[in-house]
Structure 1
Amino acid sequence: MTSFKKHWGLWLAAVLLFVLFFSSSMTYKEQTTVPLLERLLHNEPFKQALSGIHFNYAGEQQSIAEVGYFKFVEFFIRKGAHVSIFFLLGLGLTQGTFMYQKNRWLHWPLMVLSCTGVAAFD
């Protein structure tokens, strides 16, 4: 078995940590996908379905009426990306370190705390 196949989880975790570190150093304006969404979704599909959704997040009202269609769609894309990247980070850490754990019962709490810690500092 090649070293990469044996340690794919650690490689995945390392790449994701680099991506997180790089993206965290950028401002919102440098990361925004609104111009791309304006080009791709210029006819605003799903606007009718999304128009009825509104909620408070970080003390601000989130809705199409408040922030506009493209920023509202971007909000869901960004939150989905956060959930996905931290899930994959946890998967990579779990797979990559499982063989090194002597106390198997301690493995899952350590992975959850590791990912939570990285998310908190992000």
Structure 2
Amino acid sequence: MNHTYVKRIKLWSPVVIIASVIFFFSSQPYEKQDLKPGILSKVDLSLVEKTADSVSFEYATSEISISRLGVQQFVEFFIRKGAHFFIFALLGLFFYRALLHEGVNVRKAIIYSLLFLAFYATSDEIHQHFTGNRTPLVQDVILDFVGGAFGVFIRSLKK
């Protein structure tokens, strides 16, 4: 097999795998991803309840607080949004890295990466529109994009 071909597969495989994982989870209804009956039911959340009891803010026109959601759903919100940020950070990092290794200059690689991330984050939320019990949110597009941009930034620090 051609050495260049193998190198390209190694470069782009993480991008394809991460994008596929995002697509897979976007295809699942909320009930299949609900953390409350599993992980969160086995964790003592009393410390969170005591320390974050006064935390309250709006996200996508909904109040996020323990008093409104309960402690399990409150924690689940942060886990879910952290997962959005983290997976898109990985996607941005590996997409940018692949472009650089393909010989794209840094400035163009950043621009192409950010455009790709904006497109993929938007298409992910559109995909969720067609998935049962999922709500597409502009705020999630922004969160995903910022996570992806963070990944690009982190990778850009490497010389």
Cα deviation digits, residues 47-92 of structure 1 (max 9, x gap): 1111111011111111000011000000000000000000100011
Q: Whole-Å Cα distance in 2 between the matches of residues 77 and 90 of structure 1?
A: 20
Query: In structure 1, what is the Cα distance between the partners aligned to 2:42 and 2:115?
Result: 38
**Once structures 1 and 2 are overlaid, which stretch shifts more, 34-43 or 21-30?**
34-43
> Which runs of 5 or more structure 1 residues have no equivalent in the other structure?
none
In 2, Cα distance between the equivalents of 1:64 and 1:37? 18
Query: Could you tell me the percent identity over the aligned residues?
Result: 30
The 3 A distance-change label for structure 1 pair 60 and 11 is same
| Aligned residue in 2 for 1:48 | 50
* Cα RMSD (Å): 2.1
C-alpha displacement at 1:8, in angstroms? 4.0
Q: 1:8 to 1:47 in 2, by over 3 A?
A: farther
2:45–2:72 Cα contact (<8 Å) kept:
no
Deviates more, 1:99-108 or 1:18-27: 99-108
Size of the aligned set, in residue pairs, is 121
2:145 paired residue number: none
Does 2:114 match 1:120? no
Q: Which has the higher contact order (CA 8 A, sep 6+)?
A: 1
Q: Secondary structure at the match of 1:52?
A: coil
Q: Give the match's secondary structure for 1:56.
A: strand
Match of 1:110 in 2: 112
TM-score by length of structure 2 reads 0.68
Structure 2 spans left out of the alignment, 5+ residues = 125-159
